[in-house]
């Protein structure tokens, strides 16, 4: 374990301790808990929960078993509840302070109780939502779309995160849902596998039954590198998925350019790429993050950091590629409210949906699975059904 990873773990654990401290102190104050035994037990529980997520990740990394998997699921689920509880506690404090400033009297236990109950119910809904991806149909006009590709069914998947949370049963339901859409082509923009340590042999089997007339194409995401890129590619190689690793392919007039996470130094790194794009063809760029495909200088760890916290949304090299449409994922649109506001800020508004800059367009999907908390209260889990339309 490197020094940077250790510092990251310490920083994250400190943040989690602070979040739990704020929540526990708020609960004690809201409900005027004075019984010393009850308070000690409550603080002890909060202390355990504060270290549960990091400890679960570490245990699962070094010792995978049914017990550590259960512990990880419990800790990850609690993290989702905690985020909503913190929002509820902050809202309760705001109401109390504003009421006090206005000279009004409010019942703290009732206000806090209602808000925390709403947060709990919202979290339960989020768990249901996480395991029931919706089909999001979208028509996207592009330049020179071939007539025979107009209106055809393109299914976009991303961030499925097959692993200890989204396992074989999730994959079975997903494959059945996708195949029922009768896709002409399936595109997967990274993070098919979850980066938490484990065996993927069983849960990848349903993916072998994915079917599309013109094939299934995939580019890697950051979690394939967390798994170990060669291990991940070997696992994916057992399926009908074709990995596009900095490669151009022509599917009967629909050009696909798949760029590996975390980018390329120049367009010369893309194999088979023609010098000029044929005007009667549509070109789609597949890249995991809604950013430029220009690789940043430095080592892989530094590139990860920039991709997460300092993403380049100029799309300069992407536009030089003459792509009509970029398809990306990665952000989960925050996944849990209110984290979607953070992803919107970090990715300059490109964290979700269809955006246009001249002839260049990008669609960022919310993603199909989840990472960490098995919960979706921002950025609903989606299977995106894209139909290309003629340019207006």
Q: What is the CATH number of the domain that holds 182?
A: 3.60.21
Distance, in Å, from the CA atom of 327 to the CA atom of 217, rounded to the nearest integer, reads 12
Average confidence (pLDDT) over 261-265: 92
d(CA 371, CA 55): 16
Return d(Cα 264, Cα 246) in angstroms, integer: 8
pLDDT digits (tens, 9 = 90+) for 285-325: 999 999 999 998 777 777 777 888 889 999 999 999 999 99
Looking at 74, 108, 130, the residue that finishes a domain is 130
Is the model's pLDDT at 243 over the cut of 80? yes
Outline where DSSP puts E strands in the chain. 134-142, 154-157, 185-189, 216-219, 241-243, 247-251, 254-258, 282-286, 325-328, 353-357, 360-364, 382-390
* Confidence class for position 370, pLDDT limits 50, 70, 90: very high
153 and 99 within one domain:
no
Same domain for 126 and 163, yes or no, is no
pLDDT, average across residues 188-212: 92
Residues 167 and 100 placed together within one structural domain of the fold: no
Distance CA 241, CA 220 (A): 12
Distances (CA, A) of 262 to 168, 289, 298, 301: 28, 8, 12, 11
Q: Do 186 and 76 reside in the same domain of the chain?
A: no
Contacts of residue 266, defined as CB under 8 A and 6 or more positions apart, other chains included, come to 317
How sure is the predictor about 109, in pLDDT bands with cuts at 50, 70 and 90?
very high
What pLDDT does 73 receive?
Answer: 96
Query: Looking at 89, 112, 130, which one is the last position of a domain?
Result: 130
When divided into structural domains, the chain yields a total of 2
Segment 123-142 mean pLDDT: 96
The answer on pLDDT for 237 being more than 90 is yes
**What Å distances lie between residue 323 and 44, 101, 165, 282, 316, CA to CA?**
55, 56, 35, 8, 11
pLDDT tens figures, 3-45: 777 888 899 999 999 999 999 999 999 999 999 999 999 999 9
316 and 376 assigned to the same domain: yes
Task: Examine the fold and report which residue of 70, 97, 130 is the final residue of a domain before the chain moves on.
Answer: 130
Give me the percent of the chain exceeding a pLDDT of 90.
82
The mean pLDDT value for 256-268 works out to 95
Domain match, 167 and 33 both: no
Tell me: do 108 and 192 sit in the same domain: no
Pair (217, 340) in one structural domain: yes
Q: Tell me the residue range of the domain where 183 lies.
A: 134-390
Q: pLDDT: is 367 or 304 the higher one?
A: 367
- Report pLDDT for 1: 59
pLDDT of 349: 95
Q: How far is CA 164 from CA 52, 65, 158, 200, 290, in A?
A: 16, 11, 17, 9, 26
Query: Tell me, what's the pLDDT at 277?
Result: 84
Mean pLDDT, rounded, for 54-79 = 92
Kindly report the pTM of this predicted structure.
0.93
What is the pLDDT of the chain when averaged over all its residues?
Answer: 93
Say whether both 139 and 83 belong to one domain. Answer: no
- Is the same domain home to 85 and 204? no
pLDDT reading at 198 higher than 80: no
204 vs 238: CA distance, rounded Å: 8
At 201, the pLDDT band (50, 70, 90 cuts) reads: confident
Question: Do residues 126 and 139 both lie within one domain?
Answer: no
Place of tokens 């950025």: 379
Are 34 and 19 within one domain? yes
Please tell me the predicted confidence (pLDDT) of residue 204: 94
At 342, list the tokens: 């953070």
Mean pLDDT of 339-343: 96
Q: Give the residue-averaged pLDDT of 251-261.
A: 96
């Amino acid at each position: 374990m490197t020094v940077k990873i250790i510092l990251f773990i310490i920083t994250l654990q400190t943040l989690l301790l602070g979040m739990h401290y704020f929540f526990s102190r708020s609960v004690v104050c809201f409900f005027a808990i004075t019984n010393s035994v009850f308070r000690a037990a409550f603080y002890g529980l909060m202390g355990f929960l504060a270290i549960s997520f990091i400890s679960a990740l570490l245990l699962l990394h070094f010792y995978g078993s049914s017990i550590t998997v259960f512990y990880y699921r419990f800790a990850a689920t609690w993290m989702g509840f905690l985020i909503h509880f913190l929002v509820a506690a902050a809202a309760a404090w705001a109401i109390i302070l504003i009421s006090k400033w206005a000279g009004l009297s409010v019942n703290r236990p009732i206000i806090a109780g209602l808000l925390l109950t709403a947060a709990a119910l919202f979290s339960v809904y989020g768990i249901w939502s996480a395991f029931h991806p919706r089909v999001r149909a979208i028509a996207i006009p592009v330049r020179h779309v071939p007539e025979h590709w107009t209106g055809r069914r393109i299914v976009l998947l991303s961030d499925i995160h097959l692993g200890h949370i989204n396992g074989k049963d999730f994959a079975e339901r997903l494959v059945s849902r996708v195949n029922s859409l009768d896709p002409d082509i399936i595109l997967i923009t990274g993070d098919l596998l979850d980066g938490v340590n484990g065996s993927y042999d069983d849960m990848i089997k349903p993916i072998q039954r994915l079917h599309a007339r013109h094939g299934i194409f995939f580019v890697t995401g950051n979690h394939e590198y967390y798994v170990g890129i060669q291990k991940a590619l070997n696992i994916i190689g057992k399926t009908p998925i074709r990995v596009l690793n900095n490669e151009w392919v022509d599917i009967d007039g629909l050009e696909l350019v798949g760029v590996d996470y975390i980018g390329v130094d120049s367009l010369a790194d893309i194999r088979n790429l023609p010098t000029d794009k044929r005007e009667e063809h549509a070109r789609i760029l597949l890249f995991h993050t809604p950013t430029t495909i220009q690789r940043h200088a430095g080592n892989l760890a530094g590139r990860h950091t920039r991709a997460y916290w300092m993403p380049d949304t100029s799309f300069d090299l992407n536009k030089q590629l003459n792509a009509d449409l970029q398809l990306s994922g990665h952000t989960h649109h925050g996944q849990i409210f209110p984290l979607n506001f953070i992803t919107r800020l970090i990715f300059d508004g490109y964290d979700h949906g269809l955006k246009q800059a001249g002839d260049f367009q990008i669609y960022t999907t919310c993603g199909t699975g989840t990472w960490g908390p098995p919960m979706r209260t921002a950025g609903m889990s989606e299977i995106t059904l894209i139909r290309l339309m003629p340019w207006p």
